[in-house]
Each structure stands twice: as structure tokens, then as C-alpha cells.
Amino acid sequence: MTDQSEKSYELLLKNGHVIDPANQIDRPMDVAIHKGRIAKVAQSISSQEAAQTVDVSGLYVTPGILDIHTHVYQYRFPKEGGITCIDADAHMLA
């Protein structure tokens, strides 16, 4: 058995649909993580290179995009100014 310290990556996400606008990627690919950072994005990365492999088939993977959630309800203006949510009805197709 190979020691984890000999592996190139701590985590490998296999077969996810990667969306990465910065690198013009929108297709199934593998994503490898090393020391908490994205180390490699490729068509196929061997599971033998990673300490842990997770099959994410059918799921979207967005490497490098942090916190993609939103608050969806009517506008609320905080004391310090700005809008902290969106009105979903204003952005939906009729």
C-alpha cells in the first residue's frame, strides 16, 4: 500500500461537469486538489495519484469560484447601504 505522503494530490474529483469561465472550460473533467488548492484540471487524472477520490458524475464543479449562492427575496437595504438580496421575479422569464 502506498503512503498518503507519496500521492500527488489529497483529493481528486472525478467525472464532474467543470464550469470554469476563466479558462473557457464547460465540460466533464477531473479536478485534483493539493494543499487546499486546485493543482490540476484535466480530461482524465488517474485515481492512483490521489489519497482520496470522489466520483462527482452528474454534479457541477466550479474550481476557483467561491461562494456562488444568493439571497432571493424582495430588496432589503442595510443601514450601511447596498442591496443584500435580489428580487427573483425581476430576473425570471415571463
pLDDT for 3 beyond 70: no
**What does DSSP say about strands 60-61 and 9-20: parallel, antiparallel, or unpaired?**
parallel
pLDDT (tens digit, 9 = 90+) per residue, 64-90? 777 666 667 665 666 666 656 666 777
Question: Is 80 within a domain?
Answer: no
pLDDT for 1 beyond 90: no
Number of structural domains in the chain: 1
pLDDT for 52 beyond 70: yes
All residues at 6 or more sequence positions from 40 whose CB lies less than 8 Å from its CB, including other chains: 9, 30, 31, 32
Question: Is 83 within a domain?
Answer: no
Domain holding 28: CATH number?
2.30.40.10
Phi, psi of 75 (to 5 degrees): -55, 145
Parent domain of 21:
4-66
Question: Is 28 within a domain?
Answer: yes
Predicted pLDDT at 73: 66
* pLDDT mean over 57-68: 84
Q: What is the pTM of this model?
A: 0.67
All residues at 6 or more sequence positions from 21 whose CB lies less than 8 Å from its CB, including other chains: none
Question: Is 94 within a domain?
Answer: no
Are 12 and 30 in contact, with CB atoms under 8 Å apart? Answer: yes
What single-letter DSSP state applies at residue 21? G
